[in-house]
C-alpha cells in the first residue's frame, strides 16, 4: 500500500496512517495488502461477474487482497469490525456467494471468467466457514 | 423496517423510475430472494450514483431513506445501508464522498467515519 507511513526513528510502531489520514493500529500492519480489484476487473468479461467483483472489491480497500473475504478473515482474527455491526460483511458475503453461484455461474461464461468466479466463491466460502468456526 | 421489503420500499419512493429498476433487475438477474445486499449493491447503488449528478431532491430522498435504515432497530437493516450502500458510495471512483457528504444524515455520516478507517479514501473529516 503506498502513501501511508509508520512511526520511525527506532521507536516501536503502534499505528499506521493511510493516505486519507485515517489510523489503523500498527499491530494490524500485516493485514495491509495489495488490492486485486483492478487485476480482477481487467481479467474478466462477463458484465454481472464484473458487478459482483465491483461490489466485493471496493476501491481503496487495503485489508488483505481488498475483498470482502479478506475483511471477514480480518474481523474474525482480530476482533475488529470494519462496519459498526459485527455481522455486516458476513451477511453480504453470504448473499454475494449465493448470487455468484446461483446466477453468475449459470450464465454463459468464458473459461477464464468461470475459473475466476469459482476462485472468488471459494475464497468467500472459506472465509464464511472460518467466521462460523467451522474450520 | 422489514429487511425483505427494503428494496421494494426504496423503489416505491421513485415511481417515475420504475422502468430503470426493472431493466436493472433484468440486466443483473438479481431478485429479492438473493437478498438485500445484492439488490442494494447491484441496483440501488448504481441508481444513487446516477441521480446524484441529476437531481438533488431525489438524492436527498434516497439518503433520507438510507438514514432511516441506519437508525433502524433491526441490525440487518442497518447492515445493508452501511455495507452495501455507504461503503460503496464513499469508495466510488468518480467523486465518492465529495459528491454525497451534503446529503448524509448524522448517523449515516457516523457510519461512514467508522468505515473510513479501513479504506484509502479522501474527503472525510473526523
The pLDDT tens digits for B23-33 are 999 999 999 99
pTM, 2 dp: 0.89
**Spatial separation of the C-alpha atoms in residues B116 and B125, rounded to whole Å:** 10
Please, what is the angle between helix A111-131 and helix A88-102, to 10°? Answer: 150
The shortest C-alpha distance from B12 to chain A (Å) reads 23
Q: Tell me the residue length of chain B.
A: 126
Q: Which of B27, B82, B84 sits opposite A84 (nearest CB)?
A: B82
pLDDT at A13: 57
B123 vs B90, more confident: B90
The shortest C-alpha distance from A91 to chain B (Å) reads 8
> Do B63 and B108 touch, CB atoms closer than 8 A?
yes
Q: Is residue B123 part of a domain?
A: no
Counting the structural domains of chain B, the total is: 1
CB contact under 8 A, B83 and A22: no
**Spatial separation of the C-alpha atoms in residues A22 and A33, rounded to whole Å:** 16
CB contact under 8 A, B120 and A23: no
**Spatial separation of the C-alpha atoms in residues B110 and B126, rounded to whole Å:** 9
Measure Cα distances from B64 to A11, A88, B67, B104 in Å.
46, 20, 5, 8
CB contact under 8 A, A63 and B37: no
Interface with B, mutate which of A23, A56, A58, A96 (most B CBs under 10 A): A58
Q: Is residue B125 part of a domain?
A: no
Contacts of B21 (CB under 8 A, 6+ apart): B11, B14, B43, B47
**Spatial separation of the C-alpha atoms in residues B53 and A81, rounded to whole Å:** 32
Q: Is residue B92 part of a domain?
A: yes
> By percentage, how much of chain B surpasses pLDDT 90?
80
Q: Which of B79, B84, B110 sits opposite A87 (nearest CB)?
A: B79
ipTM of this complex: 0.91
pLDDT in tens, chain A (135 residues): 444 555 445 555 566 666 556 567 777 878 888 889 999 999 999 999 999 999 999 988 888 899 999 999 999 999 988 888 888 899 999 999 999 999 999 999 999 999 999 999 999 999 999 999 887
pLDDT at B34: 96
For residue A57, report the phi and psi dihedrals to the nearest 5 degrees.
Answer: -115, 90
pLDDT at A10: 54
Question: Within chain A, what is the greatest distance between any pair of CA atoms?
Answer: 56
pLDDT at B11: 98
Mean pLDDT of B98-109: 93
* Full domain range(s) for residue B97: 3-118
Q: Is residue B124 part of a domain?
A: no
Amino acid at each position: 500500500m503506498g502513501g501511508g507511513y509508520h512511526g520511525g526513528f527506532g521507536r516501536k510502531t503502534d499505528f499506521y496512517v493511510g493516505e486519507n489520514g485515517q489510523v489503523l493500529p500498527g499491530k494490524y500492519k500485516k493485514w495491509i495488502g495489495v488490492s486485486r480489484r483492478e487485476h480482477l476487473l481487467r481479467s474478466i468479461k462477463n458484465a454481472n461477474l464484473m458487478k459482483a467483483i465491483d461490489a466485493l472489491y471496493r476501491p481503496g480497500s487495503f485489508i488483505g487482497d481488498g475483498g470482502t473475504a479478506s475483511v471477514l478473515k480480518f474481523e474474525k482474527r482480530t476482533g475488529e469490525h470494519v462496519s459498526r455491526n459485527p455481522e455486516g460483511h458476513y451477511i453480504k458475503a453470504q448473499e454475494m456467494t449465493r448470487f455468484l453461484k446461483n446466477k453468475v455461474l449459470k450464465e454463459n461464461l468464458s473459461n477464464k471468467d468461470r475459473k475466476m468466479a469459482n476462485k472468488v466463491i471459494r475464497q468467500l466460502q472459506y472465509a464464511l466457514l472460518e467466521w462460523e468456526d467451522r474450520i | 423496517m422489514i429487511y425483505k421489503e427494503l428494496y421494494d420500499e426504496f423503489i416505491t419512493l421513485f415511481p417515475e423510475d420504475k422502468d430503470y429498476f426493472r431493466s436493472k433487475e433484468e440486466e443483473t438477474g438479481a431478485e429479492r430472494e438473493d437478498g438485500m445486499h445484492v439488490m442494494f449493491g447491484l441496483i440501488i447503488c448504481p441508481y444513487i450514483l446516477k441521480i446524484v449528478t441529476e437531481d438533488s431532491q431525489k438524492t436527498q430522498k434516497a439518503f433520507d431513506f438510507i438514514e432511516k435504515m441506519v437508525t433502524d432497530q433491526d441490525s440487518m437493516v442497518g447492515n445493508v445501508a452501511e455495507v452495501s450502500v455507504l461503503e460503496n458510495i464513499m469508495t466510488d471512483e468518480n467523486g465518492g464522498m465529495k459528491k454525497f457528504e451534503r446529503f448524509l444524515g448524522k448517523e449515516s455520516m457516523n457510519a461512514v467515519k467508522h468505515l473510513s478507517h479501513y479504506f484509502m479514501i479522501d474527503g472525510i473529516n473526523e
